[in-house]
């Protein structure tokens, strides 16, 4: 049965530097589109020619600094108080949070059957807002990334950690690339036990 699937990934090629998350998203989109599904990728703008992938449509969305919660009161509090304070601590991280908040308007008219987003900075937030069944792929929670790179703890780090946990708790399915990552989730609230699904990549026939 063909499905309409949304992949909400901040990073997606072409782009100047290929991250592991972007590589994963590319392989997932390629595989799902090749299997006959209608795939919609929502990602940030990237320089270069868009890849031609069967069954895949890419929607490019710039970070919206005007975006915020749907509730008017919360939107004002976010825009006038919270966002400026967090922005001063880490502009790029807050830009990713605002990007996640602005995805809603893009996926609302797509009538998706299911969506997937990374744990990173609550990428799947828009799906929870629209009651679209969500799969969260655990790549590396911000709390681990920050600790490994000796960042923080700052207020913005706590905000991102809260957002990631909030979105993950509302996902229908949570997947992990390893048993080690699944163990990290033991202290997180999830609807079901995380599924361990190793990362995948299309290996060329020749070197």
Would you place residue 155 in the very low, low, confident or very high pLDDT band (cuts 50, 70, 90)? Answer: confident
Tens of pLDDT, residues 12-49: 998 766 678 899 999 999 999 999 999 999 998 888 88
Distance CA 8, CA 133 (A): 13
* Mean pLDDT value of segment 97-115: 91
For residue range 86-101, what is the model confidence (pLDDT) as tens digits? 656 577 778 888 888 8
pLDDT at 1: 82
What mean pLDDT is predicted for residues 103-118?
94
Which pLDDT does position 62 carry in this prediction? 86
Q: Does residue 77 have a pLDDT over 50? A: yes
Contact yes or no for 41/12 (Cβ under 8 A): yes
Q: What is the pLDDT of residue 74?
A: 56
Rounded to a whole number, what is the distance in angstroms from the first to the last CA of the chain?
Answer: 35
Instruction: 61-67: list long-range contacts, CB under 8 Å, 24+ apart.
Output: 61/99, 61/102, 61/103, 61/106, 62/99, 63/95, 63/96, 63/98, 63/99, 63/102, 64/98, 64/99, 64/101, 64/102, 65/95, 65/98, 67/98, 67/99, 67/101, 67/102
Question: Average pLDDT over the chain, rounded to whole?
Answer: 85
Using CA atoms, how far apart are residues 48 and 14, in angstroms rounded to an integer? 6
Q: Which band of pLDDT confidence, cut at 50, 70 and 90, is reported for residue 185?
A: confident
């Amino acid at each position: 049965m063909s499905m309409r699937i949304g992949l909400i990934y901040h990073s997606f090629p072409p782009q100047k530097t290929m991250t592991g998350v972007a590589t994963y998203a590319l392989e997932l989109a390629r595989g799902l589109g090749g299997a006959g599904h209608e795939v919609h990728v929502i990602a940030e703008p990237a320089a270069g020619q868009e890849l031609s992938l069967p069954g895949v449509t890419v929607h490019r969305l710039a970070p919206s600094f005007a975006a915020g919660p749907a509730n008017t009161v919360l939107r004002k509090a976010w825009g006038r108080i919270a966002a400026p304070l967090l922005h001063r601590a880490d502009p790029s991280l807050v830009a990713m949070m605002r990007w996640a908040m602005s995805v809603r308007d893009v996926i609302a008219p797509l009538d998706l059957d299911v969506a997937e987003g990374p744990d990173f900075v609550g990428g799947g937030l828009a799906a929870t807002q629209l009651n679209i069944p969500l799969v969260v792929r655990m790549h590396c929670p911000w709390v681990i990334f920050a600790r490994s790179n000796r960042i923080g703890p700052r207020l913005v780090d706590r905000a991102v950690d809260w957002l990631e946990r909030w979105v993950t708790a509302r996902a229908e399915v949570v997947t992990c690339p390893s048993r080690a990552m699944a163990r990290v989730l033991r202290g997180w609230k999830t609807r079901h036990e995380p599924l361990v699904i190793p990362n995948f990549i299309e290996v060329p026939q020749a070197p």
